[in-house]
Structure 1
């Protein structure tokens, strides 16, 4: 239908004389980027992914594909919250696929996603890694708008995250939530907490990473934040009631993991402060 957006964005990054450059981009429909920023000494490109309509309506499909050549370094984020609007029946979709080449580093750190009551939304993220590449990615999802007293009573939200290294799956997670009153009322489901988040680190093993993250966040975070360490995967989770709290905890955990894995401090994109 004419009122539905099918938008695509393809980005290619390469390392050129110790600076990551966007060498090619291709887009269809309302997806674009700002020119890359370079606030870090190692030449990492900070890139803002833009969706001018501001929200995803029923029947819309957004597709983003990022390619990082060997030793490229990018941080991808968004200028504001993504919004899945109410839809009678039509599915709203967002697909993100990131290819990270040998020795490359990709950080995919979008701002939060708001799923309005009555939405039928699907988010899929797939990350393909080389043997020695690094990926850190997060998502924070608000079911409804709790600050405005709006809960997610009807609709459906599906999400999947898949990470493969040299074509071998190392992380896969799938979520399918229906917005019923029982879902938010039962403590064994979401414990009436409408905001959830997951951050995944995939890279070289970090000794005592979980303890380092917990130590940085303090005991007060234990009620809403957790961290688990596998062989080459670290997973942080938030389940709470305040988006500002979830973003603050994730940012601190990201700073710790970044310093441990990459040997550099966290340099936040300027857009996060506006």
Structure 2
């Protein structure tokens, strides 16, 4: 009965307010030693652009033409990289989760990389506004020696705009599998007043921004010294650890600007390459 009631509430909400739907899929393959586009699909508010890249792997840029996410919205992205290929998927700008009038916005990301492939998931930050409700899920299926480098960062209101958050509902779920076996699982849940939830020293010590960097590859633990050397000195905190083919770095900072600068410095050093141009636009 409870599930039926929730479904009825969603139907009523959809009938009263227009909701965003977006679905984007992109795939790359290796052809004559060069990574090229193999498939592209986009519908609704989800768009993909492929800027010209003169050096390095191709880049797919995701665009949400709705301008943000609110309760009841649905946004899905899928990226596939074939054996031996290397591609980057990023976003044109920061995603925004706005106040919800009812329901939860859903963002689903599905990543696939075949043996010997490298897939870099490098979206820009997600900004959570007061009273927003957002649920994200990232699933990745890796084969053989495939490498996934994934980044996600979250901003709890824009301090430069004087924004404060008194309540929100945010869930972030990661599941990474290699050859069908679960190798990494991570869940974040913030439900209520984020100032209270993140005030403790074991959470974020009052920080307003946080990020996760995951490097998943058979040889990822061998890069731990590089990762720790690349950790920037900034007003927040950052640390890295590695185990069983996974390297993980966490960042927490007082605001979006400090976190973004620290994260960009780390990624460019760790990757030994510049970030996609949209990061500096």
TM-score by shorter chain over 0.5 = yes
1:241 aligned to 2:254?
yes
Contact 1:40 1:267 in 2 (8 A): no
2:235 is the counterpart of 1:228: no
Distance 2:220 2:107 in 1: 32
Q: Deviations over 1:28-63 (max 9, x none)?
A: 21111112432325xx11111111122012110001
> Counterpart of 1:266?
273
Question: Structure 1: 5+ residue runs without aligned partners?
Answer: 259-264
Q: Match of 2:8? A: none
- The equivalent residue for 2:150 is 137
Say whether the 8 Å CA contact 1:102–1:131 is kept in structure 2. Answer: yes
Verify the 8 A CA contact 1:152 1:179 in the aligned structure 2: no
Q: Match of 1:271, SS?
A: helix
**1:63 & 1:216 partners in 2: Cα distance?**
32
Could you tell me which of 22, 36, 47 is aligned with 1:7? Answer: 22
Q: Which runs of 5+ in 2 are unaligned?
A: 1-13
Q: Work out the CA distance in 2 between the residues paired with 1:53 and 1:158.
A: 21
CA RMSD in angstroms comes to: 1.9
Q: Say whether the 8 Å CA contact 1:80–1:111 is kept in structure 2.
A: yes
Whether 1:79 and 2:92 are equivalent positions in the alignment is: yes
Query: 1:205 — aligned with what?
Result: 219
1:5 offset after TM fit, Å?
Answer: 1.3
- 1:75-118: CA deviation from partner (whole Å, max 9, x where unpaired): 11111100011003210011000110111110001000001110
Q: 1:128-179: per-residue Cα shift (whole Å, max 9, x none)?
A: 1011111101111011222222222112000011110001011000111013
SS in 1 for 2:39: strand
- Alignment CA distance shift 1:68-1:212 (3 Å): closer
**Bigger mean CA offset, 159-168 vs 198-207:** 198-207
Distance in 2 separating the partners of 1:223 and 1:53: 32
For residues 170 and 251 of structure 1, do their structure 2 counterparts lie closer, same or farther at Cα, with a shift above 3 Å needed? same
Partner of 2:32: 17
Any residues of structure 2 matched to 1:88-167 within 5 Å, and which?
Answer: 88-167=101-180
Are positions 1:216 and 2:234 aligned together?
no
